[in-house]
Amino acid sequence: MPSIIKQNSAAQGKALSNRYTVKAFKHSDDMHRFLARGDNAMSWKETREDLRSGVYTSQVGYDRDAGRAVVTYHKA
């Protein structure tokens, strides 16, 4: 199931928000049609995670074995 993700606006006075809105689509054609309308492609990004539609929070960790940062999403 393809999905896209958009970072929510942070509250005034805060640097970044770790809250994201996710939209899931049954078919990738539907997702690409949505991204082609207006300026949706500027704020929405395709995600590799298999997430359902909703609001999520993110947490960044570090995988020592792989030697890279790992982002996990949790349903808010």
Query: Which segments within the chain are labelled E, that is strand?
Result: 3-7, 19-24, 45-47, 54-63, 68-75
Distance CA 52, CA 60 (A): 20
What pLDDT does residue 37 have? 94
User: What digits encode the pLDDT tens for the residues 1-57?
Assistant: 899 999 887 766 665 678 999 999 999 999 999 999 999 999 999 999 889 999 999
- Position 76 confidence tier, pLDDT thresholds 50, 70, 90: confident
Distance CA 48, CA 52 (A): 12
- Cβ pair 19, 57 in contact under 8 A: yes
- Other Cβ atoms less than 10 A from the Cβ of 4: the count is 22
What pLDDT does residue 69 have? 93
What pLDDT does residue 18 have? 84
The residue assigned the tokens 């570090």 is 62
